[in-house]
Amino acid sequence: MNMMSSEDMDVAQAAPPENCMQARVDRVGILVANLGTPDDYTYWPMRRYLSEFLSDRRVIDYSPWIWQPLLQLVIMSKRPFSSGAAYKSIWNHDEGESPLMTITKAQTAKLKAMMAERFGDDVVVDFCMRYGNPSTKSKVEAMRAQGCQKILFLPLYPQYAGATSGTACDEFFRSLMEIKWQPIVRTVKPYYEHPLYIEALAQSIERNFAKLENRPDVLVCSYHGIPNRYVYEGDPYHCECLTTTDLLRARLGWDDVEVVPTFQSRFGPEE
């Protein structure tokens, strides 16, 4: 039996494994996040997507004991067909994907080109979806494999809502929970009042109005709706939407009756 001195034991215990301090490439990752999309407009892909989306407690916060039987047994028996028909009518058949996927890919490609021009391969740009594919977890793992020690997470929502930006960030942080060596992370704050965002909206409107023979009397700014209860519970979404509208109206130089904010897509019986 070999006998080790106390000094030898201290050295042995202090020595790290050979790969413990293995050098990692010091890259920065920019992970763009969008809502999500079904893989196809047929029944089962639609059902998987809708079930994941409508099971999110940030979106529908009713008790699962009440909500899940209703969702799985009643809503999911019909909704995939009607939603699938709607998706089919706008589907990008050339690429075999939804318009949201096509647009998100294009946005990511432009951002990637900009970062490559400025930083070379030191910055990795990719996108993920909160629901469906590509998943947030898979993209976080891919960025870590490419040596990203810092990740900037960018939800593509100008206005913050718990059911959009909030749940996207939830999923991002969940993807870090099982990682032993977590990257340093930051999230991008909502940009609902950023001058460049307001300017982009205004220029888009001005370009399209210039193409019309007759100028419309009213510009309707349509935002996705949330239950009033969420606002009373502290969600800033409603206020941020109204702020965006006010800033856009001021930038265009129009009056109150020419630019009107509205909210659509009410789900369920709540106001």
**Same domain assignment for residues 209 and 82:** no
Of 258, 257, 220, give the one whose Cα is nearest residue 241.
Answer: 220
Q: What is the pLDDT of residues 65-86, one digit of tens each?
A: 999 999 999 999 999 999 999 9
**Same domain assignment for residues 90 and 159:** yes
**Same domain assignment for residues 42 and 145:** yes
pLDDT at 134: 97
Which carries the bigger pLDDT value, residue 152 or residue 265? 152
pLDDT at 269: 78
3-class secondary-structure state, position 92: strand
Please, which residues have CB within 8 angstroms of residue 227's CB and are 6 or more apart in sequence? 268, 270, 271
pLDDT at 18: 57
3-class secondary-structure state, position 126: strand
**Same domain assignment for residues 141 and 258:** no
The token duo for 159 is 């206005």
Q: What is the pLDDT of residues 167-200, one digit of tens each?
A: 999 999 999 998 988 999 999 999 999 999 999 9
Which carries the bigger pLDDT value, residue 265 or residue 27? 27
**Same domain assignment for residues 232 and 211:** yes
Kindly report the CATH number assigned to the domain that includes residue 221.
3.40.50.1400
**Same domain assignment for residues 253 and 229:** yes
**Same domain assignment for residues 183 and 232:** no
Last residue in a domain, options 135, 153, 187: 187
Flag whether 122 is in a domain: yes
**Same domain assignment for residues 232 and 107:** no
Number of domains in the chain: 2
| Average pLDDT score over residue span 28-38 | 97
pTM score: 0.85
- Look up the domain containing 245 and give its range: 195-264
**Same domain assignment for residues 63 and 179:** yes
Exposure string of 10-42, with b = 16+ CB inside 10 Å and e = fewer, is: eeeeeeeeeeeeeeeeebbbbbbbbbbbbbbbe
Flag whether 137 is in a domain: yes
**Same domain assignment for residues 67 and 151:** yes
Last residue in a domain, options 145, 168, 187: 187
Flag whether 121 is in a domain: yes
pLDDT range class, residue 21, cuts 50, 70, 90? very low
pLDDT range class, residue 263, cuts 50, 70, 90? very high
The phi, psi pair for 266, rounded to 5°, reads: -70, 135
**Same domain assignment for residues 162 and 206:** no
**Same domain assignment for residues 48 and 88:** yes
